[in-house]
Structure 1
Amino acid sequence: MDWEWLKEFAKGMIKPVASLAVVLMAMTLSYIQKLGLEGEMIYSIFRSFLQLSIIGFVLRFIFNQNNTICILVAYLFMVCVEGYTAGQRAKHVPCGKYVAGMSILAGSAVTMIVLILLNVFPFTPRYIIPVSGMMIGTAMKVTGVTMKRLRDDIKIQKTLVETALALGATPRQATIQQVKRSLVIALSPILDKAKVLGLVSIPGAMTGLIMEGTSPLEAVQLQLVIANMSIGTSTVSSIISTYLCWRYFFTKAYQLQTEVFVLD
């Protein structure tokens, strides 16, 4: 059996292990300040090590296979994980995990298809999986915030919404302001991040490429593509999540599902 890969892995872990020094510093500060986060820090580091180690070997296998089915399986797995996570953020939204998952799937799929058709990325595991992972991760953040904010705003302004419904407004007409507010709040961090790219925020993907010897101009071009696709995916996913939420916020008779806005 060839154990060369294990030797390479152990050799490569020298720097990550050395970087644990800053985690020990954080744990010490947590202990001194009596924050009680030491155990969670250890758990987080161990979990990230385990997950990244596993995904490293999985990606190596997928890249070597260069198989469409492997790409789709990996893509759907990421969507399910991120949909579950976004649904946890909006736990009071009925079927929140389903809503988040479908929104993320639709937003990332539309964006990816456009990029492939425009020949921005080739349809290979080496490109599709990392790129789709970035898009899905960004969509997860905005979708969870959109769902939670929309539900909370409707609850706060429940009387106004019910009055509008009583006067003959549709669910969309009755909640148009709440929808706009939730979308603006969810998308603002993504847009703000794009505004400071290269000024305050130095993207990891671009930095990594430059450190590997890639031309700075090529690295910048790739980072621009990533920034553009993040905005596109986030916008599509968050808007779709609002449409899917209406189904669970209102009855077919255009009445509020009262029980949805009771729990906190």
Structure 2
Amino acid sequence: MAKVDISYLSLFLALSLVLVALTISSKEKLGLTKDIVVSVVRTIVQLTVVGYLLYYIFDVDHIFLTLTMVLMIVFNASRQANKRNPNRNKRFFQSFLAIFLATGLTLTVLVLSGAIQFLPSQLIPITGMIASNSMVAIGLCYREMNSLFRDQRQQVMEKLALGAPVKLASASIVRQSIRTAMQPTIDSAKTVGLVSLPGMMSGLIFAGVNPIFAIKYQIMVMFMLLSATSLGAVIAAYFAYRNYFNDRAQLDFEEEKL
């Protein structure tokens, strides 16, 4: 098996490709130049710190450190998902609870079924995959919900005026928000192996693992992500829609910049 070694020159040349994104942002006046630069710096710093931290955690193999790292991943994913919510009445604990429950339930099933072991080298990477996908789905759910409440404000107010409860008046918006949140994961599952080649499966095969094992592992991962994103989106949506109403069941929504 060929040895893979990325030189610093290769990293520098790869970094130079970011100039393409910076040039496009500047030329098209997208206003993303600062975000791109910050993302590059954070990528380097965060991956370096976390890489050495994981090396230590994997070596120590202590349950407290493992669970602490899992909670850190869930917390940061929740914070980022909450940032993507344009609603001024958003609540952080709603995002945290959605990702925590989706991640916790999925991990519990995987551990109890024997699909993965309670080891930091398995638990932490899987947690990262679950939480990151849930974060993206919940962020999409929040943005879609905000857009729908803005576009369908009059319809919602009419339903309320006719005596419909808040849940019924928001039902179509909640359903559409959940669908939008789940769609990227569903599309990914439809095209996996045809359009995208899964990194985990390819990495296992590259490492010399039996292809059958690698395929089964990747199938498990796709099932896991479908489950987690759907759970996270549903929980987040049924929390979030209530934030658009006040205590008197009146629509409390101000148009905000997305």
- Bin of the TM-score, shorter chain as denominator length: 0.7 to 0.9
C-alpha distance in structure 1 between counterparts of 2:175 and 2:24, whole Å? 44
Aligned to 2:83: 88
1:10-65 CA-partner distances (Å, limit 9, x unpaired) = xx974354143133244168549953877765543332122111111111111122
1:213-258 CA-partner distances (Å, limit 9, x unpaired) = 112211111111111110000000000011111332222332212x
C-alpha distance in structure 2 between counterparts of 1:33 and 1:58, whole Å? 34
- 2:12 paired residue among 14, 20, 38: 20
Q: 1:42 to 1:180 in 2, by over 3 A?
A: closer
- 2:254 paired residue among 236, 239, 261: 261
1:66 aligns with 2:61: yes
C-alpha distance in structure 1 between counterparts of 2:230 and 2:117, whole Å? 24
CA RMSD of aligned residues (A): 2.3
1:131 aligns with 2:126: yes
Aligned to 1:148: 143
Letter in 1 for 2:40: I
Deviates more, 1:166-175 or 1:40-49: 40-49
Task: Give the number of aligned pairs.
Answer: 251
Gaps of 5+ in 1: 1-11
What does 1:30-41 correspond to in 2, within 5 Å?
30-31=22-23, 34-35=26-27, 41=36
Q: 1:30 to 1:248 in 2, by over 3 A?
A: closer
2:193 aligns to what SS in structure 1? Answer: coil
Aligned to 1:249: 244
Deviation at 1:134, TM superposition (A): 0.1
Deviates more, 1:170-179 or 1:21-30: 21-30
Q: Is the 8 A contact 2:22 2:36 kept in 1?
A: no
Q: 1:195 to 1:237 in 2, by over 3 A?
A: same
C-alpha distance in structure 1 between counterparts of 2:160 and 2:33, whole Å? 50
C-alpha distance in structure 1 between counterparts of 2:198 and 2:133, whole Å? 14
2:7 aligns to what SS in structure 1? Answer: helix
C-alpha distance in structure 2 between counterparts of 1:226 and 1:142, whole Å? 16
The percentage of aligned residue pairs carrying the same residue is 26
1:46-94 CA-partner distances (Å, limit 9, x unpaired) = 3212211111111111112222211221111111111111112113352
